[in-house]
Amino acid sequence: MTCHCQPHQSSPYMPISQKKKKEKRKKISQKIDSLEGGLLVCFVMDQDLVETEKRRKREINIDPGLQWSQWQLLDSILPTGGFAHSFGLEAAIQARLVSGPDDLQNFVIHLLENTGSLLLPFVYSATMNPTLDNCQKLDRILDATLSNEVGRKASVSQRSSLMRVAASVFTELPSLKSMRDVCIGSGVVSFHHAPVFGIICGLLGMDSGTSQRAYIFMTMRDVISAATRLNLVGPLGAAVLQHRVASVAESMVKKWMDRSVEDACQTAPLLDTIQGCHTYLFSRLFCS
C-alpha cells in the first residue's frame, strides 16, 4: 500500500517556549543597551571633568583681590553707560535689516567681528602699556579711524562714564583718578572707550587675552540686552542666543587678538553705515 503522507512542514507559529526565550533575550539586550548608554554618559562626564581640571591647572595665579575688581568691571550693574547704546541695532530694525531671531544672530556675529577687527587692537595696545601717554596716542589714532559720527559720540560717551566710575570705584588705583583729572583739565573730550577699557584692564592685572575677551563679551552682552528691550527676543531666548554665539565670539577673538593698531580695519561697513543713520530716526530708545 502506497503512503501519500505529505512531508512535515514547520509551523508558521513559534512555540510558546521559544517565544518566551526570544522575549527574554530582547529584555536582556535592552538592559545591556541601557547600561552601555549610562556608561557612555559617565565616560563623557569623566572626560569633561578631566578637561576642566586641565584648564584649572593652566590658569595663571593672580591676586584674588584683583579678581574681585576684574569681575566687577564686567558686572552689568556697573553704571558704565553700555546699556544706553544698541550699536546700530535699533536703526537696523527700522531699516528692516533685522526683523527676527535669525537676523539678530547674524547681526550680532557681524558686529562682534567688526568690533574685533577695529577695536581689539586698541584694547590690546592699551592693556600692554597702560599709561596716559599711550592712551592719548591711541585715542588720536582711533578718533581718526572711526568713520561715523554716531559711533564716535557713543565711544566718547561710554569712555566718560567708564572713566568716572572706575576712578570712583577702584580707589586702590590712584592713577585712574589722576588720568581722569588730566583728561578733564586738558579739555580733551574725544577720549574713546576701547583704549580706556584696555588701560583699566591692564591696571587691574588682566592679561591681554582676558582683556580682549572681556571687551568682546561686553559688546555681545550689551547688544543682546538691547535686542531684549526692543522685543526682538525674550530674556530666555537672549540667554540661549548668547550661549550659542559664544563659540563664534571666541573664534573672533582668536582671529583678531594681539594685533597692532596699524592692522585695525572695518569688516562690516554696512553695519557702520546703518549705525550712522541712527540720528535720523524719528523716535529712538537708544543713543546709538
**Residue 275 to residue 268: CA distance in whole angstroms:** 11
Q: Percentage of the chain with pLDDT > 90? A: 38
Locate 40 and state its grid cell: 557612555
**Residue 279 to residue 179: CA distance in whole angstroms:** 31
Comparing 9-18, 124-133, 159-168, which segment has the lowest mean pLDDT?
Answer: 9-18
Which pLDDT value is given to residue 26? Answer: 64
Mean pLDDT within 270-288 = 87
Q: Give, rounded to a whole angstrom, the gap between the first and last alpha carbons of the chain.
A: 109
**Residue 190 to residue 169: CA distance in whole angstroms:** 23
Q: Across the chain, what does the average pLDDT equal?
A: 81
Locate 256 and state its grid cell: 583678531
pLDDT at 188 over 80: no
Would you tell me the crossing angle of helices 208-229 and 64-74 to the nearest 10 degrees?
30
Domain 88-279 falls under CATH 1.10.4190.10: yes
Comparing 15-19, 64-68, 69-73, 265-269, which segment has the lowest mean pLDDT?
Answer: 15-19
pLDDT at 163 over 70: yes
**Residue 279 to residue 288: CA distance in whole angstroms:** 8
